[in-house]
């Protein structure tokens, strides 16, 4: 069933029940809408866009921070048969222009946070004819129509635009941390399958309540919510990541499922450890599942979490935007004994691990992970070369290096592009990062390769300590003596670890920041 039809069904079955709740703790603000209001607003968006000439196959830019309007706008765009084009809220003005040009977008919906960026490039956005502004009237640019006026022009009736399961639905752009963002084209079948697989993996019922914190423009957050959506279960859009705010949302909204990024989970544990929050102040008994994805998860984090929340089910989810988000591999809540692995193939997925010639490697050896299933993207839009390199006979090359253990569990070794080669040896940073995260003084860690004239590269560690903790470079290097000599960091920087909105370490930024600094450190043999 196409996801816009799932929304209509939810409105028929659960019309007066709460669908979405927005919480903004910094402003002490809470707003909610029912399934009927969600459905009717999506219809109004669709009909208003159709009245402006938007038709099937057109593209509509969706550039907003998480808010209550985000999902009704997304579903409204899909109901016109147009492609929704959600953009990363961290994109620069030039990134936005680049994406709009590739999409040849006809309209743009944007929030108040983006006015300055859009102002600076509007004259270059030649294909965009209509701008819809969601925000205070005082901040609305002259060229944009206010969201409220826009909605008034649309009927709340189903626009009944015929859409097929294999039709194109959405254009998602990669984060752009390693060059220009690549456009990932997803179909309605991709989106439908994301609903099915998420519900299959985490067993959501109509009585669950999902706290959504990561950005909705990304496939991860939205596709995890899809597991609730397909059974008409409510969700909380939480605007803020402070540990207290997350625990308050779970407690006050009786939430049962929370998807966290590594730094947020770590922040909660640190806040509990430091006495900044007292768990006795919250009603958390109904919280049944905490799961993490979007980046490698240190096993130490999960072990510490289980000590604090022993009744929680836990799952690690692996996926890419090219696989319509998470789930092509997942640990499974029944496999807590395998913490550290990314897991086994998800429902209706298969995998293989291959060498540089696409031949399968023996069990236990490292190779590149390939996956195949109903979530694989249609293509990199307007980029046949990249599509040909990545999609091979229906299989997707992930760019991630992995291996399989004797029980058939897949272990992520590292991103192919992040492998460090020192003295001819391949070093996988995730392995060292996991080791560093075992240290009780360390809150976050990143490992990168820095150029070295003699060895090619050396291992450098960027360390973020927990509050009020102290550690010298000598102490850190002494701790690392448990590692094989060639894997030990040769340089240590105490600094913040930059992560993008989906939790991934921004290693290009670190390599750029510390490039050339390896020469100041005498390599010890």
- DSSP secondary structure string for all residues of 194-256: HHHHHHHHH---TT-EEEE-S-TTSHHHHHHHHHHHTTT-EEEEE----HHHHHHHHHHTT--
The tens digit of pLDDT for each residue in 154-177 reads: 999 999 999 999 999 999 998 654
Strand ordering across the sheet containing 491-494: 442-452, 456-465, 491-494
Break the chain down into helix, strand, coil percent, rounded to 5: 35, 30, 35
| pLDDT value of position 228 | 97
Asked if residue 371 has pLDDT above 80, the reply is yes
- Total structural domains within the chain: 1
| pLDDT value of position 181 | 84
Given a contact cutoff of 8 angstroms between Cβ atoms, the answer to whether 463 and 445 are in contact is yes
Nearest to 270 by CA among 441, 26, 495, 438: 441
Residue 436 lies in a domain: yes
Give percent of the chain with pLDDT exceeding 70: 94
If you average pLDDT over every residue of the chain, what do you get? Answer: 91
**pLDDT (average), residues 357-376:** 95
Asked if residue 482 has pLDDT above 90, the reply is no
The tens digit of pLDDT for each residue in 11-41 reads: 999 999 999 999 999 999 999 999 999 999 9
CA angle 464, 468, 471 (to 5 degrees): 55
Q: Residue 142 gets which letter from DSSP?
A: T
How deeply is 240 buried, as exposed, middle or buried, from its count of CB atoms within 10 A (0-12, 13-18, 19+)? middle
Segments forming the whole domain that contains residue 443: 419-520
Specify the CATH number for the domain of residue 478.
3.30.300.30
**pLDDT (average), residues 495-505:** 80
Which range among 170-179, 228-237, 256-265, 408-417 shows the weakest confidence by mean pLDDT?
170-179
Asked if residue 132 has pLDDT above 60, the reply is yes
Residue 283 lies in a domain: no
| pLDDT value of position 359 | 95
CA angle 464, 484, 423 (to 5 degrees): 95
Helices 70-79 and 3-14 cross at an angle (nearest 10°) of 120
| pLDDT value of position 519 | 42
Nearest to 77 by CA among 110, 54, 103: 54
Which range among 418-422, 448-452, 478-482 shows the weakest confidence by mean pLDDT?
418-422
- Residues forming beta bridges with residue 210, ordered by sequence position: 235, 257
Residue 480 lies in a domain: yes
| pLDDT value of position 199 | 97
pLDDT tier at 385, thresholds 50, 70, 90: very high
CA distance 371 to 330: 12
Strands (E), 40-182: 59-63, 83-86, 107-111, 130-134, 145-146, 168-173
Nearest to 197 by CA among 293, 329, 62, 33: 329
| 435 vs 6, residue with greater confidence | 6
Residue 465 lies in a domain: yes
Asked if residue 342 has pLDDT above 60, the reply is yes
Query: pTM score, two decimals?
Result: 0.84
Given a contact cutoff of 8 angstroms between Cβ atoms, the answer to whether 249 and 238 are in contact is yes
The tens digit of pLDDT for each residue in 285-328 reads: 999 999 987 666 778 888 899 999 999 999 988 898 999 998 99
The tens digit of pLDDT for each residue in 53-98 reads: 999 999 999 999 999 999 999 999 999 999 999 998 988 899 899 9
The tens digit of pLDDT for each residue in 42-64 reads: 999 999 999 999 999 999 999 99
- Residues forming beta bridges with residue 170, ordered by sequence position: 84, 186
Strands (E), 103-178: 107-111, 130-134, 145-146, 168-173
Residue 425 lies in a domain: yes
Tokens (6 digits) for 93? 């003005």
| pLDDT value of position 424 | 59
Residue 202 lies in a domain: no
Residue 282 lies in a domain: no
Kindly give, in sequence order, each residue whose CB lies less than 8 Å from that of residue 503, ignoring residues fewer than 6 positions away. 214, 261, 262, 263, 264, 294, 295
| 103 vs 416, residue with greater confidence | 103
Residue 391 lies in a domain: no
Asked if residue 521 has pLDDT above 60, the reply is no
């Amino acid at each position: 069933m196409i996801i816009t039809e799932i929304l209509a069904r939810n409105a028929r079955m659960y019309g007066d029940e709460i669908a979405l709740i927005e919480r903004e703790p910094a402003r002490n603000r809470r707003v909610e809408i029912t399934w009927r209001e969600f459905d009717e607003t999506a219809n109004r968006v669709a009909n208003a866009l159709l009245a402006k000439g938007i038709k099937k196959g057109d593209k509509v830019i969706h550039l907003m921070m998480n808010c209550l309007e985000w999902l009704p706008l997304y579903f409204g765009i899909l109901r016109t048969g147009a492609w929704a084009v959600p953009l990363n809220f961290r994109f620069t003005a030039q990134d936005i222009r680049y994406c709009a040009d590739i999409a040849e977008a006809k309209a743009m919906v944007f929030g108040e946070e983006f006015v300055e960026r859009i102002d600076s490039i509007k004259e270059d956005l030649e294909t965009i004819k209509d701008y819809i502004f969601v925000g205070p009237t005082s901040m609305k640019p002259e060229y944009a129509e206010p969201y409220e006026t826009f909605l008034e022009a649309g009927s709340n009736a189903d626009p009944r635009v015929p859409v097929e399961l294999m039709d194109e639905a959405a254009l998602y752009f990669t984060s752009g941390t390693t060059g220009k963002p690549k456009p990932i084209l997803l179909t309605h079948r991709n989106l439908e399958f994301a609903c099915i697989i998420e519900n299959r993996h985490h067993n959501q019922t109509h009585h669950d309540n999902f706290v959504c914190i990561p950005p909705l423009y990304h496939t991860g957050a939205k596709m995890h919510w899809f597991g609730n959506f397909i059974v008409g279960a409510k969700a909380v859009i939480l605007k803020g990541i402070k540990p207290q705010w997350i625990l308050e949302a779970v407690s006050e909204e009786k939430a049962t499922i929370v998807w966290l990024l590594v730094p947020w989970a770590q922040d909660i544990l640190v806040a509990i450890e430091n006495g900044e929050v007292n768990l006795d102040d919250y009603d958390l008994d109904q919280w049944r599942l905490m799961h993490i994805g979007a980046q490698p998860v240190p096993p130490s984090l999960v072990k510490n979490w289980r000590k604090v929340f022993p009744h929680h089910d836990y799952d690690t989810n692996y996926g890419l935007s090219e696989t319509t988000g998470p789930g092509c591999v997942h640990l499974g809540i029944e496999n807590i004994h395998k913490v550290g692995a990314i897991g086994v193939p998800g429902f209706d997925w298969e995998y293989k691990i291959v060498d540089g010639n696409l031949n399968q490697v023996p069990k236990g050896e490292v190779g590149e992970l390939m996956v195949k299933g109903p979530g694989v993207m249609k293509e990199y839009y307007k980029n046949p070369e990249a599509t040909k390199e990545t999609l091979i006979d229906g299989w997707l090359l992930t760019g991630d290096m992995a291996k399989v253990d004797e029980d058939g569990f897949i272990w992520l070794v590292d991103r192919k592009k992040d492998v460090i080669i020192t003295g001819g040896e391949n070093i996988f940073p995730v392995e060292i990062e996991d080791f560093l995260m075992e240290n009780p003084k360390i809150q976050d860690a990143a490992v990168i390769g820095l150029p070295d004239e003699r060895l090619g590269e050396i291992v450098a560690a960027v360390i973020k300590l927990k509050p009020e903790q102290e550690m010298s470079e000598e102490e850190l290097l002494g701790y690392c003596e448990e590692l094989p000599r060639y894997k030990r960091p040769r340089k240590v920087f105490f600094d913040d670890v930059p992560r993008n909105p989906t939790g991934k370490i921004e290693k290009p930024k670190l390599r750029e920041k510390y490039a050339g600094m390896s020469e100041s450190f005498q390599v010890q043999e």
